[in-house]
Structure 1
Amino acid sequence: MFNRFLAASADGFVAPSPAQLRIDILAGLTVALALVPEAVAFAFVAGVHPLVGLYAAFIVGLITATIGGRPGMISGATGALAVVMVSLVAQHGVEYLFATVVLMGIIQIIVGIMRWGKFIRMVPHPVMLGFVNGLAIVIFLAQLNQFQVPGSSHGGGHGVASGEWMTGMPLYLMLLLTIITMCIIHFGGKYIKFVPAPLLAIGTVSVAVIALGLDVPRVGDLASIKGGLPQFHIPMVPFTLETLQIILPYAVILAAIGLIESLLTLNLVAEITETKGGASQESIAQGLANLVTGFFGGMGGCAMIGQSMINVKSGGRTRWSGISAAIFLLIFILFASQWIEMIPLAALVGVMFMVVIGTFAWRSIQIMMRIPRADAFVIVLVTVVTVATDLATAVVVGVIVSALVYAWNASTRMHANTPGYHEGDKEKIYKLEGPLFFGSIESFMALFDPKEDPETVIIDFAGSRVVDHSGLQAIEALAAKYEANGTKLKLRHLSNDCKTLLKKAGQLVEPAEDDPEYAVATDYDLQTGRLDAGH
Structure 2
Amino acid sequence: MLNFFRQQSGSIKNDVLSGVTVALALVPEAIAFAFVAGVSPLIGLYSAFFIGLITAVLGGRPGMISGATGAMAVVVVSLVAMHGVEYLFPTVILCGVLQILIGIGRLGKLIRMVPHPVMLGFVNGLAIVIGMSQLGSFKTLGPMGDLQFLGGTPLFLMLALVLATMAIIWLLPKLTQAVPASLVAILSVTLVAVAINSSVESDGSGHVVANVGDMLRTNSQAKQIAMLRSEHTASFESQVSLVSNSTSEDAASASDDASPVVGPIPPLDPAVIQEVLDEEPSTASGISGGLPMPFFLQYDNLAPMNWDTLKIIFPFAIVLCGVGLIESLMTLTLIDEITETRGQGNRECIGQGTANLVCGLFGGMGGCAMIGQSLINVNSGGRGRLSGITASVCLLMFVLFLAKYIEQIPMAALVGVMFMVVIGTFEWASLKMVRRMPRSDVFVMVLVAGYTVVMHDLASAVILGVIVSALVFAWQHATHMGADIKYNEFGSKIYQVHGPLFFASVSSFKDMFDVNEDPEDVVVDFYYSRVYDQSGLEAISTLAEKYQASGKRLHLTHLSPECRTLLDKAGDLVEINVSEDPQYHVATDRLA
TM-score of the superposition, structure 1-length normalised? 0.90
Tell me how far apart the structure 1 counterparts of residues 547 and 287 of structure 2 sit (CA, whole Å): 78
Q: Is the 8 A contact 1:426 1:455 kept in 2?
A: no
Gaps of 5+ in 2: 1-8, 201-207, 217-285
Q: Is the 8 A contact 2:10 2:383 kept in 1?
A: no
Aligned to 2:262: none
1:458 partner SS: strand
What is the aligned counterpart of 1:329 among 382, 387, 395? 395
Tell me how far apart the structure 1 counterparts of residues 415 and 136 of structure 2 sit (CA, whole Å): 10
What is the aligned counterpart of 1:168 among 149, 152, 168? 152
Tell me how far apart the structure 1 counterparts of residues 390 and 416 of structure 2 sit (CA, whole Å): 22
Compute the displacement of 1:391 (Å): 1.2
Report % sequence identity.
58
Compute the displacement of 1:521 (Å): 4.2
Question: Is 1:472 aligned to 2:537, yes or no?
Answer: yes
The CA deviation string for residues 57-80 of structure 1, in whole angstroms up to 9 with x for no partner, is: 000000000010001100000011
What is the aligned counterpart of 1:430 among 483, 495, 498? 495
Amino acid in the other structure paired with 1:472: L
2:589 partner SS: strand
Tell me how far apart the structure 1 counterparts of residues 194 and 215 of structure 2 sit (CA, whole Å): 18
Q: Is the 8 A contact 1:96 1:237 kept in 2?
A: yes
Q: Is the 8 A contact 1:150 1:221 kept in 2?
A: no
Question: Is 1:446 aligned to 2:511, yes or no?
Answer: yes
Amino acid in the other structure paired with 1:373: R
The CA deviation string for residues 131-165 of structure 1, in whole angstroms up to 9 with x for no partner, is: 111111111111111101168999xxxxxxx7211
2:537 partner SS: helix
Q: Is the 8 A contact 1:202 1:347 kept in 2?
A: yes
Aligned to 1:289: 355
Aligned to 2:6: none
Question: Which moves more between the two structures, 512-521 or 92-101?
Answer: 512-521
Tell me how far apart the structure 2 counterparts of residues 153 and 261 of structure 1 sit (CA, whole Å): 38
- 5 Å-filtered alignment, 1:31-180, equals 31-149=22-140, 163-180=147-164
2:150 partner SS: coil
What is the aligned counterpart of 1:264 among 317, 326, 330? 330
Tell me how far apart the structure 1 counterparts of residues 75 and 192 of structure 2 sit (CA, whole Å): 39
1:515 partner SS: coil
Question: Which moves more between the two structures, 20-29 or 392-401?
Answer: 392-401
Aligned to 2:567: 502
Amino acid in the other structure paired with 1:39: A
Distance change in 2, residues 1:104/1:313 (3 Å):
same
- 5 Å-filtered alignment, 1:4-23, equals 20-23=11-14
The CA deviation string for residues 366-388 of structure 1, in whole angstroms up to 9 with x for no partner, is: 11121111111111111111122
Amino acid in the other structure paired with 1:222: M
Q: Is the 8 A contact 1:491 1:510 kept in 2?
A: yes
- 5 Å-filtered alignment, 1:284-323, equals 284-323=350-389
Tell me how far apart the structure 1 counterparts of residues 51 and 436 of structure 2 sit (CA, whole Å): 41
Question: Which moves more between the two structures, 129-138 or 21-30?
Answer: 129-138
Aligned to 2:230: none
Question: Which moves more between the two structures, 443-452 or 356-365?
Answer: 356-365
Tell me how far apart the structure 2 counterparts of residues 511 and 49 of structure 1 sit (CA, whole Å): 67
Compute the displacement of 1:420 (Å): 5.7
1:522 partner SS: coil
Amino acid in the other structure paired with 1:356: V
Amino acid in the other structure paired with 2:343: G
Compute the displacement of 1:487 (Å): 2.0
1:432 partner SS: strand
2:526 partner SS: strand
1:73 partner SS: coil
What is the aligned counterpart of 1:218 among 188, 206, 211? 211
**What is the total number of aligned residue pairs between the two structures?**
499
Tell me how far apart the structure 2 counterparts of residues 90 and 403 of structure 1 sit (CA, whole Å): 37
Q: Is the 8 A contact 2:186 2:413 kept in 1?
A: yes
Compute the displacement of 1:455 (Å): 2.2
1:388 partner SS: helix
Tell me how far apart the structure 2 counterparts of residues 103 and 334 of structure 1 sit (CA, whole Å): 29
Tell me how far apart the structure 1 counterparts of residues 312 and 304 of structure 2 sit (CA, whole Å): 11
Aligned to 1:230: 292
Tell me how far apart the structure 2 counterparts of residues 510 and 90 of structure 1 sit (CA, whole Å): 65
Q: Is the 8 A contact 2:60 2:348 kept in 1?
A: yes
Q: Is the 8 A contact 1:40 1:222 kept in 2?
A: no
Amino acid in the other structure paired with 1:94: V
1:194 partner SS: coil
1:137 partner SS: helix
Tell me how far apart the structure 2 counterparts of residues 261 and 479 of structure 1 sit (CA, whole Å): 47
Question: Is 1:184 aligned to 2:168, yes or no?
Answer: yes
Tell me how far apart the structure 1 counterparts of residues 131 and 68 of structure 2 sit (CA, whole Å): 17
Tell me how far apart the structure 1 counterparts of residues 33 and 176 of structure 2 sit (CA, whole Å): 33
The CA deviation string for residues 281-305 of structure 1, in whole angstroms up to 9 with x for no partner, is: 1001101100100111211100000
Q: Is the 8 A contact 1:475 1:505 kept in 2?
A: no
1:245 partner SS: helix
Q: Is the 8 A contact 1:476 1:503 kept in 2?
A: no
What is the aligned counterpart of 2:464 among 397, 400, 403? 397
Q: Is the 8 A contact 2:65 2:370 kept in 1?
A: yes
Tell me how far apart the structure 2 counterparts of residues 395 and 440 of structure 1 sit (CA, whole Å): 26
RMSD value, Cα: 1.9
1:276 partner SS: coil
Q: Is the 8 A contact 2:10 2:381 kept in 1?
A: no
Q: Is the 8 A contact 2:544 2:570 kept in 1?
A: yes
Aligned to 2:522: 457
Tell me how far apart the structure 2 counterparts of residues 146 and 152 of structure 1 sit (CA, whole Å): 18
Distance change in 2, residues 1:23/1:206 (3 Å):
same
Q: Is the 8 A contact 1:150 1:222 kept in 2?
A: no
2:320 partner SS: helix
Compute the displacement of 1:246 (Å): 1.4
The CA deviation string for residues 397-445 of structure 1, in whole angstroms up to 9 with x for no partner, is: 11111111111111110000124679xx721111111000111011001
Compute the displacement of 1:517 (Å): 2.3
